[in-house]
Structure 1
Amino acid sequence: MVFESLMRPLRAVSKPWEMLFYGIFVASIGVFLGYWIFRDKADLVMIFLTVFAVIPLMFHTLRREEQADMEEEQETKMLKRHSKVLFFYIFLFVGMTIAYVMWYVFLPDNMSQMVFKQQIITIAQINSPVVVGDAVSMGLFTKILFNNMKVLIFCILFSFFYGAGAIFILTWNASVVAAAIGNLIKLGVAKYAATAGFTKMAAMTQTTTYAFSRYLFHGLPEMAAYMVAGLAGGIISAAVINKHFQTDKFQRIMLDSSTLMLIALGILFFAALMESFITPALF
């Protein structure tokens, strides 16, 4: 298919920064097709259309990683190889987020409210007043950590049962984060609407930088944890599909996947600390 021919797994791993533009492109196509064909359900349809465009690339990449696990004996070399895949996952996530933010901000209000309807509802459900205090912060940390761990488990399960299934969770999170960022930017635009010239440009730049920093500061490590977990589940899935579980090398694959899951848990713990204690202090 056309999307599959635009980016090959080897190119994506060797030049992960190109996934930034790929993410912007496929997410933008998803937004317009979703609104054009399924206007009332565009908020969810655009996610599925974006996922459909990315799944072939994810599937072939996971197969390559699983094959590498079969051939490579040193765990450190395997983790170094997986880190390259993680980078292209991150660039893909950032690209999709940028695209969704762009369309949330630039589309007319009535159109953006329809395209991001479910995302806006989700943000309203998870937002709560910030209360200062060590006990409250620790309670918030526990809540965030356990909630994120549930998402992590879903990433592993989705990747295991659907191969590249975790990309759905990542795309959905990109759209929710983008709606939150876009809302902050729109508030800034309204605030500085009366200004003009350099002052307005500087204010818009500051608002945009603040909005992205506010959510990606802890959001990127959190997404990285989900990506690592999804990679682990996907590698096991590829091994099962290729019937490598019947070979002696399957133990090596399981060891590598278990290591990735532990790394994902460590990153998730760190991201929860950032979201609970550091982000409220900085922003």
Structure 2
Amino acid sequence: MVLEAIISPSKVEQNILWAIPLGFMLSVVGLAIGLFLFPKDASLVGILFTTLAGVPFLRGILTIEEVKDEKIHAIIQFLRRNKRVIKIYFMFFLGVTLSYIVLYFILPTDIVAQMFSKQISIFPGATPTGMFLGNALFQRIVINNLKIALIALILSFLYGAGAIMILTWNASALAIFLVSLRSFRAIAFTLPHALLEFSGFFIAAVAGGLISIAAERDKLYSKNFQDILTDGLLFFLVAVLVIVIAAVVEVTIGVLA
């Protein structure tokens, strides 16, 4: 594989920072192929090709450390056990995000509109309305975002490429969201809760990815899998907490706007 000759899985294993240019490179290649083969659906096809290219790389890179015998599942122990996997996912996510930001600014306007059409449609404007956000809207925000997080978890677990697909989509959406912030007011009133929401979705996808990798390597009823399943569900609970906090921040800022 030509891409492996440029950034091999072993190189990323030695230094996880290589996952940033890996995500950047795979995203650019995926978008280019999507634009060339399916110009009308380049925004979604680009995600697909990035996912297809990213899965074998990350499968070759990610290794889950052996879970210690102690039956301790505090968040600190969890992060220690899985910090390498989480860091690699995050670096890959960052690389994809940076690729979309760079391409957004260097490509012609018509190509940007075509290549990022789905992402742009999500964020037609970033300026808040300043309207009062009540309890009903708060509940709707939380429920909607929890559904997205749950979908990320389930897809990442059931579908081997699900974690990469969810991470790639969220990275592309985050990039377009960031470049859509045209004023200090937009940044101040939308960036805090948006970053928290994206963080929640990222955590949920990683949780599903951890469980999925464990399911491939261990028997479903083995102690090792049960421990990692507990870790993954614990991480998902962290995602839920982050999403609820994001909704609180969004409601609070909406009232202050």
TM value normalised by structure 2? 0.80
- Residue 156 (structure 1) aligns with: 153
Q: 1:42 to 1:238 in 2, by over 3 A?
A: same
Counterparts of 1:24 and 1:60, CA distance in 2: 18
How far the C-alpha of 1:281 sits from its partner, in A, is 5.5
Displacement after TM superposition at 1:52 (Å)? 1.6
Match of 1:260 among 230, 235, 248: 235
In 1, the alpha carbon distance for the partners of 2:201 and 2:23 equals 17
Amino acid paired to 2:130: V
The answer to whether structure 1 residue 87 and structure 2 residue 62 are counterparts is no
In the alignment, the residues of structure 1 paired with residue 253 and residue 137 of structure 2 have an alpha-carbon distance, to the nearest angstrom, of: 12
Which structure carries more helix by proportion?
1
- SS of 1:244's partner is coil
Shift of 1:113: 1.0
Tell me the equivalent position of 1:236.
211
Equivalent position of 2:66 in the other structure:
68
2:177 to 159, 180, 184: 180
Residue aligning to 1:52: 52
Distance 1:215 1:232, change over 3 A: same
Unaligned runs of 5+ in 1: 186-206
Q: 1:98 to 1:277 in 2, by over 3 A?
A: farther
Given the superposition, is the C-alpha separation of residues 261 and 10 from structure 1 closer, same or farther in structure 2, using an over 3 Å criterion? farther
Of 272-281 and 228-237, deviating more is 272-281
The residue that corresponds to 1:114 in the other structure is 114
Aligned equivalents of 1:10, 1:269: Cα separation in 2: 38
Quick check: 1:155–1:166 contact (8 Å CA) kept in 2?
A: yes
**Match of 1:233, as an amino acid?**
G
Distance 1:154 1:90 in 2: 19
**Distance of 2:200 and 2:89 partners within structure 1:** 11
For normalisation by structure 1, the TM-score amounts to 0.73
The residue identity in structure 2 corresponding to 1:19 is: A
Q: CA deviation at 1:149?
A: 0.6
Structure 2 residue runs without a partner (length 5+): none
Output one character per residue of 1:191-248: Cα deviation in whole Å (capped at 9) or x when no partner.
Answer: xxxxxxxxxxxxxxxx6x9887876543443333223322332333334334522324
What is the deviation of 1:72? 5.1
SS in 2 for 1:33: helix
Q: CA deviation at 1:48?
A: 1.0
What fraction of aligned residue pairs are identical, expressed as a percent? Answer: 30
